[in-house]
Copies of this chain bind each other. A is one copy, B any other.
Amino acid sequence: MRILIIGAAGMIGARLAEAIASAGTVAGRPVAAMLLADRAAPAVPGSLSGGLAAETLAADVADPAAARQLAAWRPDVVFHLAAVVSGEAEADFSKGYRVNVDATWALLEAFRLSGTAPRLVFASSLAVYGPPFPDVVPDDFALLPQSSYGAQKAIGEFLLSDFTRKGFVDGIGIRLPTIVVRPGAPNAAASGFLSGIIREPLRGVEAPLPVPRDVAAWIASPRIAVETLLHAAGLQSERIGSRRCLTGRGVSVTVGEMIEALSEVAGPAVAARIRPTEDPVVARIVRSWPRAFETAQARELGFPVDEGIRAIIEAHIAHEMGGRFVP
């Protein structure tokens, strides 16, 4: 099988590439070749399973010639993860549409013209939704983006579904939950504190908490996000049905539950490094997000899910921190 990852230099893209490289399979089928594309050529994964050839490519997919080059590589499975994130898409309107819409269009068109109809796994976002929300958002809830990023992802979903209906690609779009615990330095995303209040205290650093403890989020660990994409790659097309874009399974937790779990796993001294520093702007944004999703379709399709926030924290300590934290 030939696997193409677009956006392979990103956090999820790099982990996905590592997971495929070390397993040497996707959905139980051996991978012969992997092409990792991003604006700048991504790194080749450290450990490559025997026989697996990995190439990297610097490509601007919004350029139709680059998209055609990727299609000409004739992948069986494409992971399309390349995106400008929400803050940047809001600040730079043209760049957001160029990367989040034009590139998706160019890619779909390149595969239509190639006649190869690969499985195309598209990373969409919960930002396609807007309030008012019910307590649990059903699978058929109307899309109502509140940001350019959300509008761009919604447009990508409609393109993917129409190209799939016509048989030009075999697409599936997954709205990934908020990733917790996101490794690395704090970033400017409004959701960043959800990772920060776990990651920073565990390494002995104080973390600001900009929202009240009753704020809830729909989260998934980086490992489950990668497994979600791999599961999507292996699903039989007939099983997916006509609704090709769905919300990924997650865990609904309040900030208070996250802090309690951190205290249980790592001790109250670690949890005490979380400093309430109310930020009304962040609180307003986060309160406009849904607290929980039904995800009936994803459950029926057998998508994986985290056990809970405690397991997410334990896995972060075990796999990201070598089993050690600052008590």
Contacts and interface: CB of A to CB of B under 8 A. Distances in A.
Interface of A: 93, 112, 130, 140-146, 148, 151, 154-155, 158-159, 161-162, 165-166, 242-243
Given A140-B142, A142-B140, A158 B154 contact: yes
Given A140-B142, A145-B161, 12 more contacts: A93-B112, A140-B144, A141-B142, A143-B158, A145-B158, A145-B162, A146-B165, A148-B162, A151-B158, A151-B159, A154-B158, A155-B158
A155 B159 contact: yes
A137 to B, nearest CB: 11
A130 B130 CA distance: 21
B144 A243 contact: yes
Nearest to A148: B162
A159 B151 CA distance: 7
B162 A151 contact: yes
A-B residue pairs, 9 tightest by C-beta? A151-B162, A142-B142, A151-B158, A140-B142, A155-B155, A154-B158, A155-B158, A148-B162, A141-B142
B161 A151 contact: yes
A151 B105 CA distance: 13
A93 B113 CA distance: 12
A166 B243 contact: no
A145 B143 CA distance: 13
Given A140-B142, A142-B140, A148 B161 contact: no
A96 to B, nearest CB: 10
A140 B130 CA distance: 11
Nearest to A168: B93
A212 to B, nearest CB: 25
Nearest to A93: B166
A178 B146 CA distance: 30
B143 A166 contact: no
A167 to B, nearest CB: 11
A41 to B, nearest CB: 31
Residue with the greatest number of chain B CB neighbours at <10 A, chosen from A142, A159, A162: A162
A120 to B, nearest CB: 16
Contacts of A242: 130
A314 to B, nearest CB: 37
